[in-house]
Amino acid sequence: METEKKMQTQVELTDSDLSEQIKAVTKDSHVRAENTELMLAYQRGNVSLPQYKLLLCSLYEIYQALEEALDNNSNHPSVAPIYFPLELARLESVERDLEHFYGQDWREKIVVPAATKIYAHRLRQIGKDNPEYLVAHAYTRYLGDLSGGQVLGRITQKSLGLKGGEGLSFFSFPGVSSPNLFKQLYRSRMNSIELEEEERKGMLQEAVRAFELNIQVFDDLQKMVSVTERESELMHTTTRNRCTRHTSTHSKLADGEKVTARSLQIQTSLVNASPFFRMVLGICVALATVGMGIYAF
């Protein structure tokens, strides 16, 4: 009986923890995010280079806004407990990956969908107006990167044939020796944050919003990938048709050249024929000339 009471007390305490509450309210959104077309492609191991490059572009915009807001609010009572820039910051890692794929002028080449800009705008907005809400976004992004993100990293490496970790810096956390232990620390820090009831309610709503914003980004990215792939296929088809027409024309010209060559060979054979043949040919020409003259009269 005493043991049952202790277990009940532990469950109640766990259920009141901020990290568990966020996990509970975002459960359905989490499932929807995992079932977007982009994430399903990842789970099947069908990751294309255009998909990954466009994903990196959006991650750059998102983490630039998130980490800027966290840096600006690092002393805020709600942000300070979960502020781990050395262990978790992703912006420089994404920049290295973008330089790997796009070159040194990658900033001029990146493109992002409207949903990414909306997400970044929201992060900057709450950074100014409701810094405590940053906890929900940081939890959603960083702990996701430390969990499923590691699996996605291995899938990306295998699908794209990337060697030596080049282009995969985003998935590497050199400052975290044990992801599981660090996630435990992170959750305990979250649970230590003191919030008024209204603030807690707002943070839970923001966690749901964070997932919804990510879902919209995934959907928009997939649309961009589909357009890019259609344009690539159209370009490939056009090039192939041009090559086919060029080959056909070249073939016809070659056939013409063969006919001409055979004609020249016949003419040469006639010129080089025996004297008797040349005499007969001369008589034929003379008769033809006389005939033409008679016809003209």
SS3 content of the chain, % helix, strand, coil (to 5): 80, 0, 20
Q: How far is CA 144 from CA 1, 165, 200, 252, 255, in A?
A: 38, 20, 21, 62, 65
- How high is the pLDDT of residue 273? 43
Banded pLDDT at 53 (limits 50, 70, 90): very high
Residue 87 pLDDT exceeds 70: yes
Tell me how far apart the alpha carbons of residues 174 and 88 are, in angstroms, rounded to a whole number. 9
Burial grade of 101 (CB within 10 A; 0-12, 13-18, 19 or more): middle
Contact 137, 88 (CB under 8 A): no
- How high is the pLDDT of residue 254? 52
Tell me how far apart the alpha carbons of residues 107 and 117 are, in angstroms, rounded to a whole number. 15
Mean pLDDT on 200-223: 96
Question: Domain residues of the chain, as ranges?
Answer: 24-230
- How high is the pLDDT of residue 2? 38
Contact partners, residue 48, CB within 8 Å, separation at least 6: 41, 159, 225, 229
Q: Which CATH superfamily is domain 24-230 in?
A: Heme oxygenase-like (1.20.910.10)
pLDDT digits (tens, 9 = 90+) for 238-277: 555 565 555 554 555 455 545 444 543 544 443 444 444 4
What does pTM read for this prediction?
0.74
Q: Which of 170, 167, 178, 215 is nearest to 39 (CA)?
A: 215
Summary mean pLDDT of the chain: 80
- How high is the pLDDT of residue 228? 64
Mean pLDDT on 102-125: 97
- Where b means 16+ CB within 10 Å and e means fewer, 157-181 reads bebbebeeeebbbbbebeebeeeee
Contact 86, 175 (CB under 8 A): yes
Contact 101, 56 (CB under 8 A): yes
At 196, which amino acid appears? E
- How high is the pLDDT of residue 279? 41
pLDDT digits (tens, 9 = 90+) for 56-83: 999 999 999 999 999 999 999 999 999 9
- How high is the pLDDT of residue 245? 57
Calculate what percentage of the chain has a pLDDT beyond 90.
64
Residue 100 pLDDT exceeds 80: yes
